[in-house]
Each structure stands twice: as C-alpha cells, then as structure tokens.
Chain A
Amino acid sequence: MHRILSREALAPDVVRFWVDAPPIARKRRPGQFVIVRLGEGGERIPLTIADADPKRGAIALVVQGVGKTTRDLNAMEPGDAIQDVAGPLGLPTKIEPGQRVCCVGGGIGTAVVLPIARAVREAGGHVVSILGARTRDLIILEDDVRAVSHTCVVTTDDGSYGQKGLVTDALREAIAKAPEPFHEVVAIGPLPMMRAVCELTRPLGLRTIVSLNPVMVDGTGMCGGCRVTVGGEQKFVCVDGPEFDGHQVDFGELMARLTAYKEQEAVACARHPVAGPFTPAW
C-alpha cells in the first residue's frame, strides 16, 4: 500500500501527486518510471517518476486523466492508498556532464522532461527548454522548468500564452539562434509532436532523444507487449527504453499499436463516474 501524501491540480485533468514509496525514492534516476495498479481488478499502467524526495521516501507522479485508470487515480485524495507501485523501471537517461541540451516538452510530456532537464543542469550542462500546448490552461510545470533552464520558451497553438505556434517553430529558432550547436535535443510529448521534432532535426544530424509510451503490462520484459521497432530492430520499451534515438523509431507502427484497445477503452471509460469525452494519451 502506498499512501498519497499530497495532491495538486496543475491543469484541467492533470494532477501532481506525492506518493509514499521509500525504496523507489532512493533508487530512482531521471528517465525511469513505475508501474501502478490502483486496487484489485485494476490495470497495471506505467507513469514516469517526475521527481523524488529520498529523505521523505516519496515520489512525484504527474497524471493526465485520459481513460479509466488515470481518471480513477486523479479522483484520489491525500490519505488514500494505491495498492501497487513497482519500480523504478526502465533505463535512466544517459547524462553526460557539460552538455548543451534543448529540452522540448509537449503537454503532459513536460512532466517527463523536467527531471531530465534538471539532471542536465546539475551535471553542469546548458539547458534551453521549450514547452508547448494547445492552449494556455494546458501548460504545466512552467515555473519548475524555468528554475532549471538557462532559457525557457513557451508556445501555444492558439497564441493564448507565450509564442503562438508549435514547439517545432520555437525549436527551429532556438537552433538558429544558439551561439554553439546543441549536443542533443530531448523531445517528449504526444507521438505526432515527437515525430515532427525528429523530422526537423534529422536533416541537421542533431541527435534527438524521445521517450516512448506503448501499452505495457508487466514492465519487466516478460510479456513483449511494449515492443517497438527502432533502427529495424525489435526493442522492449520497458527494459531497453523508454528513451530511444528518435531518428531510428518507427513512429507509425507505435501509433497504430496504441489503438489496439480503443473500443475497450471507450467501454471502460463509460463506466467511469466522471466519464468525459475520450481523449488520446500524451
């Protein structure tokens, strides 16, 4: 049992929790995730460890309510308990000291980018961040990201906040303006966004790391449900990832695989007390 210590709404349908999980808080490194099961009969879902406080023995999860399980979770309150939290899973982000990195976060992807940006900064690197969302309300964790970035640009599709446009527009500018070339770009967000970033950086030969979000079950390499094709080879995201060289990823295949349970998800969603329109994941 893992007690929820605090709950804070960051945006409509997006909540940050601090959850009691001492061994995981001590062990986790940026880029890793946990598998969570709320209770009996529940699904096992992966969530990135957005932050950790080893002293308090707690980890932070930032959750976007997109379906049954994430909405059930977002309806939980401090004092409630999550039955199962397993981790930290996946390989930590490879962070080399003193690198110039452009961190691009789209929507909930910002929660995944934040610990990486912080780690780059702590390793003496230079961090340029770009945060994007459809509209002002959906920009999350801006202050946290600003605090670890040398430069931070915000974009919204509708121009309601920051620069009007897509993150790729801001990235193009950032690359052009950079006094010294970036060592790499870390782009995390919806698949179409990650793919667009990769299309932009590929011709420039600029290394681009993405974090993939396939459907998972065990998270330990046992089921193969999370398989993706990277550089023509089969990889299991839960043990070989979740981060990969974006220029090698077969995004089309992953997008298709994410629709595997569309009909069932709609059924499960309809059973949720606060059923809303079905929205795709980050």
Chain B
Amino acid sequence: MRSASGGGAVHARVVRSMAKKITQKTKTPMPCVDPAVRSRAFVEVASGYTEEMAVAEANRCILCKNRPCIAGCPVEIDIPKFIQKVAEGDFEGAFQTLTEKNVLPAICGRVCPQEDQCEKLCTLGVKFEPVAIGRLERFVADRAAAFGSQSDSGTSPQPTGHKVAVVGSGPAGLTVAADLAKMGHSVTIFEALHEAGGVLMYGIPEFRLPKEIVQREIHGLERIGVELKVNHVIGRTFTVDDLFEELGYEAVFIGTGAGLPHFPKIPGVNLIGVYSANEYLTRSNLMKAYKFPETDTPIVHGRRVAVIGGGNTAMDAVRTALRLGAEHAYLVYRRTEHEMPARLEEIEHAKEEGVEISFLAAPVGILGDDRKRVCAMRCIRMELGEPDASGRRSPVPQPGSEFEIDVDVVVFAVGQGANPLIRSTTPDLHVNKWGNICADAATGATEKKGVFAGGDIVTGGATVISAMGAGRRAARAIDVYLRNPLPDGV
C-alpha cells in the first residue's frame, strides 16, 4: 500500500485527484456476518474493512476546502487529515491523528451515530452517500491495536503531585482520567460495579462492541498510571466529601451516567419476565447470563420477547433477545421509523436479523398467568399529532384500537433518569428538576468547589462521544483549577 502512494505529499495529491474523478457513489460496503448465523450468536456483527477496502473508501474523500465534517464531530477530529493518511497507506500516521483528539477511536468508530454527526455534514452526502468516516476510524484503530501501536508512546509527563478522583468509569470518566494522567496528575477512578467501562461494558452488547476492545482501552489507562478501584460506590463506600477530606483528593469529577431505569405506570410491570433494558442487558453482558449454567447468573429466556422503545438501548435489547433464543423478537415503538433515535445501521441490522417492528403502538398493560409470569401484552395504536417540545411529532393514542400480542418476556427501554445516590449524599451539589447535576457546559464545573461533572449525569442519556467531549473539557478545566488553587470563574 505504502509503495503505491510513495508516501510523498505531491504524489499523493496526484493519486487523489485521479481518484476524485472516479468517485464511488456509495460507501464501500461493510463486511458482516450472515444474519442467519449472527442472530443466534454473540459474535461481532460487522467484521471491519480490509486494507484494500479502507484505502478505496478513503479515496472517496474529496478533501473539500471548508471541511464541514469536522464540525460534526463533537471532539473535532481532523477527519480529512486522517482519511488522507489512510488513502496514502500511512495507517500509523492516521492513528496518531485520530488519537490527538479521541482516546477511544475503536469504540467511537463502532458506536457513534455518524449519520447525525460527522457523516451528516460530509459534502459527498449532498449528492451521494457520505464518506464512511466511522468505518475508517474503526479500521485505523483496530489495525493499530493489532500492530501494538500506542497513542501514548510519547515521554511520560512530569508528575505534578496533584490528586484527582474520578467517579464512574464510563466514557466520560475514562476520558477525563486519561487526559489528566497525561498532564501528570495522579488519578484514581472509583467504579461501583466490579468491572470498569460503564455502559460500554454492561449495556452495549458484545455483538456490537466486543468487550475485549473496551478492556484494551482500560488497560491503556492503567499503563499510564491511572489507578482503578472497582466495587467502590460513591455516596456509600465514600461520600464526595470523604474523597476530599478523608482521602485528600483536590478535585472530583462525577461521571456516573444516567442509570435509573423508568417503568411506565401500567398494570403488570412487576410480573416475572418484565425487565428494564438495563437489567436485561446487564444480566446478559456484564454477568454473561447467555453462558448460564457455565456462569451463575440466570435470565428468563423468552420464546416471544417484546421490547418497548426506539433508541439504541431498545435495539440492543431486542437483538439480544434473538441471540438468547427467542423465536419472535418484537420491537414496539410509539412513533414511526423516521423518528427512531437509534443508529441507522442498528435498525438495518435488526431488520436483517428478523426483528419484527411494530410502529405506532404502545403498551397499555401486561397480562400474567397464575404463576405471575408474563403471557401477553395489550397495546394501543398511535397516530402522530403535533410536534412536541423535542420537535418530534407526538404520538396520540387511537381510542378503540387496542390489540394483544402473546409474549413471555417484556423489556422496557423507555429512557432513564439520574441515579439519586450521589445527590442524596452531597447536599451542596445543585441538580435540576430531573435530578441531573448542574454543571457549566464549557468546563464541567459545578457550584461545589473542586467538583466537576460531565456525561449523561449532566445531559441525561446522550452519546458515547458527547460524554467523552465533556470529559475532555472538564480535564482542561480541572488542570487549570489544580494549578491555580484560587481561581476566579472556574
């Protein structure tokens, strides 16, 4: 590959301008495991580009002058630069460019909603399909991992002697920890569960984000000196104030995510076989219930499973149901496909795998048998009415349109709230009416001295990359705070 481009910038430009004329209109397809096979196994669905595919796809980028794609990336990766390096066969250089801005490229390349972010603004997308930026990002990160490249290959920083505590090890916490450690601060992450990674570990399934990749990133953090304390529930094992007073941390970052599941107020939600998506996915992913009885944690295996919701969480749950052996996996969503917040690719994959989607419907009750186990769900048809506060047309129930479906497991993926553990044990932390922590958008600073926050605990359920962006901004602000013990306006 490298010899084809010769590595020289001039030569590359020539190659590039030739490529421009023969632009493929559509993205280089992503090789995927056959839907019939993968819908029954936890193997990763998309297998990734080969070098040839990556170079071909990179050559679709026309290196437009105003580079609109960058503005679509919450961490402002220099997209044309890294893509150009891929086109040149300089995969190592592409990796360095990525990691200047993104500490978790192998993860973002897989789970970012690219169609709403970088790829949404890609110039090619006006007439054709946009450049497959996410797939290229994934390719570069995976290749670097396979060859043992490390983004932190530079010199280790001068220790500053400052101590920072990070609460929660989701993407927000991992990013803030990585950045602060690279600045020379001593960082400890406190995680409530027995494994680090947040939603990346317990929520997003193996078939979409192999846990090995998350572990790789976490080991990377440990290698640069970040201390990881699992099984530490902040608010219980230590309070936020204990972290300062008892343990001597000078700043605390709270990145505890949006982890409180909501159940609708309808009859039957406490029947056996009704789960929150969090519980269903945690049992399957974190506790590996799909390997029971080789592992100890059980899960109710439904033959007919209904998942309620239309986001990524719902897609993950319904596709997990198939892999746990469901004969029918239904997705029940109250709006239409057009309003679904899930990533486009996941919706396509789910359909290929045989998920049966019922749009414009919502449950009104769950029915149980004499053992209090789910046997059916009553739903009502919806019609779209006026746009609501979010700008989406809100669903209106149609009287008299109730219908029943036979199911034995029901999973709710209808949004989550903020966990009250920290706010109830930290009285001087300000929260809004939904319980989310109030923090400055630019710095993550809260009203409480030395306490910063970011990710889903501040914004409510959002995306991996936005949580990382918040972590990055907070790391900068914490660094300033530590170096100026009496700052104004931090």
Contacts and interface: CB of A to CB of B under 8 A. Distances in A.
Interface of A: 23-24, 27, 37, 41-44, 68-69, 83-89, 217-225, 227-229, 234, 239, 253, 256-257, 259-261, 264-265, 267-268, 271
Nearest to B191: A86
A84 B194 contact: yes
Interface residues of B, number: 40
B421 A88 contact: no
Given A43-B296, A86-B237, A264-B292, A259 B231 contact: no
Nearest to B257: A222
B259 A221 contact: yes
Interface string B189-205: 00011100000000000
Interface in B266-312: 269-270, 272-273, 275-276, 278-279, 282-283, 287-288, 291-298, 300
A275 B292 CA distance: 18
Contacts of B259: 220-222
A217 B287 contact: yes
B260 A256 contact: no
A223 B276 contact: yes
B238 interface: yes
A95 B263 CA distance: 32
B238 A260 contact: no
Interface string B212-241: 000000000000000000111100111000
B237 A221 contact: no
Nearest to B261: A224
A37 B275 CA distance: 22
6 smallest CB-CB distances across A and B, nearest first, come from A264-B298, A256-B372, A223-B279, A43-B296, A86-B231, A222-B259
B293 A221 contact: no
B237 A24 contact: yes
B372 A84 contact: no
7 contacts: A41-B291, A84-B231, A217-B297, A220-B193, A224-B261, A234-B269, A259-B372
Contacts of B297: 43-44, 217
A251 to B, nearest CB: 13
Given A218-B192, A265-B298, 14 more contacts: A24-B237, A41-B291, A44-B297, A88-B236, A89-B233, A221-B259, A222-B282, A223-B278, A224-B275, A225-B275, A260-B273, A260-B300, A261-B300, A264-B298
Contacts of A84: 194, 230-231
Give chain B's interface secondary structure class: loop
Given A218-B193, A221-B419, A222-B278, A227 B263 contact: yes
A261 B298 contact: yes
Contacts of B230: 84
Give chain A's interface secondary structure class: mixed
Contacts of B231: 84-86
Contact of B261 (A24, A37, A222, A261): A222
A42 B419 contact: no
Contacts of B296: 41-43, 68-69, 268
A18 to B, nearest CB: 18
A229 B237 contact: no
Given A222-B260, A256-B371, A268-B296, A86 B272 contact: no
Q: Which of B236, B238, B297 has the most CB of A within 10 A?
A: B236
B420 interface: yes
B196 to A, nearest CB: 13
Contacts of B292: 264, 267-268
Given A83-B194, A224-B263, A225-B275, A41 B236 contact: no
A69 B298 CA distance: 12
A86 B294 contact: no
A228 B295 CA distance: 27
Contact of B295 (A41, A86, A218, A227): A41
A57 to B, nearest CB: 13
A41 B260 CA distance: 25
Given A37-B194, A88-B237, A256-B372, A223 B232 contact: no
A27 B238 contact: yes
B256 to A, nearest CB: 9
Nearest to A253: B270
A153 B232 CA distance: 40
A86 B293 contact: no
A27 B237 contact: yes
Contact of B293 (A253, A260, A264): A264
Nearest to A83: B194
A271 B293 CA distance: 8
Interface in B165-214: 192-194
A217 B273 CA distance: 15
A217 B231 CA distance: 13
Interface in B136-175: none
A44 B420 CA distance: 22
Contacts of A69: 296
A268 B298 CA distance: 9
B233 A224 contact: no
B294 A41 contact: yes
B298 A86 contact: no
Contact of B371 (A24, A221, A259, A264): A259
Nearest to B279: A223
A86 B371 contact: no
B233 A86 contact: yes
Contacts of B278: 222-224
Given A229-B270, A257-B272, A86 B232 contact: yes
B238 A23 contact: yes
A260 B232 CA distance: 29
Q: Which of B259, B273, B293, B296 has the most CB of A within 10 A?
A: B296
A239 B425 CA distance: 12
Contacts of B283: 217
Contacts of B293: 264, 267-268, 271
Interface in B438-462: none
Contacts of A87: 233, 236-237
A23 B237 contact: yes
A256 B194 CA distance: 29
A154 B236 CA distance: 35
A261 B298 CA distance: 7
B315 to A, nearest CB: 19
Given A222-B260, A223-B261, A256 B272 contact: yes
A224 to B, nearest CB: 4
Contacts of A43: 287, 295-297
A239 B192 CA distance: 13
